[in-house]
């Protein structure tokens, strides 16, 4: 269930969905207020799919408010939040969908991003990961249930139609017409960075024009998408020369919204209680005095928690949030440096994928060696134990907020948040 309810609107004959959430907390100093409006890409160039995909413009009000030093009021004005505009285009942002080490190159994989079903597959001809909409234009069945055939094409498992990396249908075994955009699948641009596969969910133009000629605009769109790769949210430290950082990576699909996940990971005040005995202790309560180090904008913010975790025992902690889905905490103590990196990937309302990287660097070579020697299966188990601590609170709390907000009550009225930690 998605906070804020589910509204419907109509635009030029296409079915549009409007998902709206307001007043969602992002830890201490900020609030994120997204308003998501989009249509699914459900048709083709001259009838439905490519027109719908091209017309899809998801606008999100991504706002933040200054830290409330004293709990005088729960109210705020959207118009005063940002000076550089309040909307971002969610289909023009990069999202990690998987660690490439977890993807099998011999078969396609399905993932849902922003309610768009995607088929992720390895193109042996280009030696690169490719992404098509997980919908065969023939009977609208999932391409991810097919195979990568001997010619290196993505072959639909239902009737054997086969597509290249740009969505062009190369084979119709029943000898049907293929030189038409109606036979094309929708393609998306993908890029591999730092061991993650990122997708730009802005549909590429169809490979063919209505007259059957190659579509020149596809090449132009690909060049633009490649240039956009510079905006992929990454961890700069992992690209350092002679990098000595050790990564422990995990992912999990969660039964709550991406914004609920971000609120949780940006809220350190819950850690001593939710993760008592597993990660922290109820007695380790310090000041939650996060201060902004950069102006709030739709692009995110930087902050510093001067006291830091464990009531100041480890030193201060910096936080970076890059809208819409990237968060990084960095802690530099005398003995080690550590980063917690979270990508909160929106799948559909009420469901998201957590991509988590815990990154360490020790001054002593022994703990550095021990951490790097931890097997992946153990890291998987231990990480998911921590996630189980939070899950019951976030899932059921999100549902209760949605139920109460369906009655027309604002988020700030539903939740009482009097402290600076809120």
pLDDT in tens, 142-158: 999 999 999 999 999 99
Looking at 3-12, 220-229, 372-381, 399-408, which range is the least confident one? 3-12
Whether a cis peptide bond, with omega within 30° of 0, leads into 324 is yes
Which residue, among 14, 202, 10, has the nearest Cα to 90 in the 3D structure? 202
Which residues, at least 6 apart from 382, have a Cβ–Cβ distance to it below 8 Å? Answer: none
Which residue, among 182, 163, 178, 181, has the nearest Cα to 218 in the 3D structure? 181
Distance CA 182, CA 168 (A): 10
Half-sphere exposure (Cβ direction) of 140: Cα atoms closer than 13 Å: 6
Starting at the earlier edge strand, list the strands of the sheet with 128-133: 95-99, 196-200, 187-193, 128-133, 116-123, 109-113
Highest mean pLDDT among 13-22, 65-74, 111-120, 303-312: 111-120
- Give kind and range of the element (H or E) at residue 393: helix 376-405
- pLDDT confidence bin for 74, thresholds 50/70/90: very low
Residue 44 has pLDDT above 70, yes or no: no
Check residue 367 and report its DSSP letter.
H
Looking at 120-124, 187-191, 347-351, which range is the least confident one? 347-351
Higher pLDDT, 119 or 365: 119
- pLDDT confidence bin for 141, thresholds 50/70/90: very high
Classify the phi-psi angles of 85: left when phi > 0, otherwise alpha if psi is within -120 to 50, otherwise beta.
left
| 137-144: average pLDDT | 97
Mean pLDDT of the chain: 79
Which tens digits make up the pLDDT trace of 273-308? 888 877 777 877 777 778 889 888 888 999 888 877
Looking at 31-35, 184-188, 236-240, which range is the least confident one? 31-35
Looking at 199-208, 273-282, 322-331, which range is the least confident one? 273-282
Across 139-172, b (16+ Cβ under 10 Å) vs e yields: eebbbbebbbeeebbbbbeeeebbbbbbbbbbbe
- pLDDT confidence bin for 412, thresholds 50/70/90: confident
- pLDDT confidence bin for 49, thresholds 50/70/90: low
Looking at 1-15, 96-110, 259-273, 297-311, which range is the least confident one? 1-15
The pair of structure tokens assigned to 221 is: 């769109």
| 231-252: average pLDDT | 90
Instruction: Determine how many CB atoms are found less than 10 A away from the CB of residue 105.
Output: 12
Check residue 214 and report its DSSP letter.
B
Residue 94 has pLDDT above 80, yes or no: yes
| 42-71: average pLDDT | 36
Residue 197 has pLDDT above 50, yes or no: yes
Q: What is the pLDDT of residue 60?
A: 30
| 198-210: average pLDDT | 94
| 69-93: average pLDDT | 50
């Amino acid at each position: 269930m998605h906070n804020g309810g589910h509204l419907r609107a109509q635009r030029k004959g296409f079915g549009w969905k409007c998902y709206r959430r307001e007043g969602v907390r992002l830890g201490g100093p900020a609030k994120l207020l997204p308003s998501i409006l989009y249509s699914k890409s459900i048709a083709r160039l001259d009838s439905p799919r490519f027109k719908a995909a091209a017309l899809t413009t998801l606008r999100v009000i991504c706002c933040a408010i200054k830290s409330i030093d004293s709990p005088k009021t729960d109210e705020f004005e959207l118009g005063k939040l940002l000076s550089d505009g309040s909307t971002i285009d969610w289909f023009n942002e990069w999202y990690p969908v998987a660690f490439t080490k977890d993807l099998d190159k011999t078969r396609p994989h399905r993932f849902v991003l922003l309610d768009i079903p995607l088929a992720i597959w390895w193109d042996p001809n280009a030696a690169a990961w490719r992404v098509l909409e997980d919908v065969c234009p023939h009977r609208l069945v999932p391409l991810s249930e097919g195979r990568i055939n001997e010619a290196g094409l993505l072959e639909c498992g239902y009737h054997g139609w086969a597509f290249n990396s740009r969505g062009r249908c190369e084979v119709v075994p029943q000898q049907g017409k293929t030189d038409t955009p109606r036979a094309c699948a929708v393609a998306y641009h993908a890029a591999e960075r730092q061991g993650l596969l990122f997708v730009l969910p802005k549909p590429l133009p169809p490979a063919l024009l209505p007259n059957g000629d190659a579509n020149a605009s596809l090449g132009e769109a690909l060049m633009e998408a490649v240039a956009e790769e510079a905006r992929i949210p990454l961890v700069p430290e992992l690209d350092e020369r002679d990098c000595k950082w050790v990564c422990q990576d995990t992912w999990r699909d969660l039964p709550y919204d991406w914004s609920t996940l971000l609120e949780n990971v940006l809220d350190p005040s819950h850690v001593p209680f939710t993760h008592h005995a597993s990660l922290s202790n109820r007695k380790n309560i310090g000041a939650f005095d996060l201060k902004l180090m950069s102006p709030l904008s739709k692009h995110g913010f930087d902050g510093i928690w001067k006291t830091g975790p464990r009531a100041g025992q480890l030193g201060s902690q910096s936080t970076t949030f890059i809208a819409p889905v990237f968060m990084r905490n960095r802690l530099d103590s005398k003995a080690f440096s550590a980063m917690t990196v979270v990508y909160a990937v929106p799948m559909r309302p009420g469901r998201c994928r957590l991509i988590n990287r815990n990154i360490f660097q020790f001054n002593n070579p022994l703990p550095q060696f021990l951490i790097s020697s931890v097997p992946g299966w153990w890291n998987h188990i231990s990480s998911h134990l921590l996630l189980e601590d939070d899950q019951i609170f976030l899932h059921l709390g999100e549902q209760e907020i949605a139920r109460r907000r369906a009655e027309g009550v604002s988020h700030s009225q539903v939740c009482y948040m009097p402290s600076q930690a809120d």
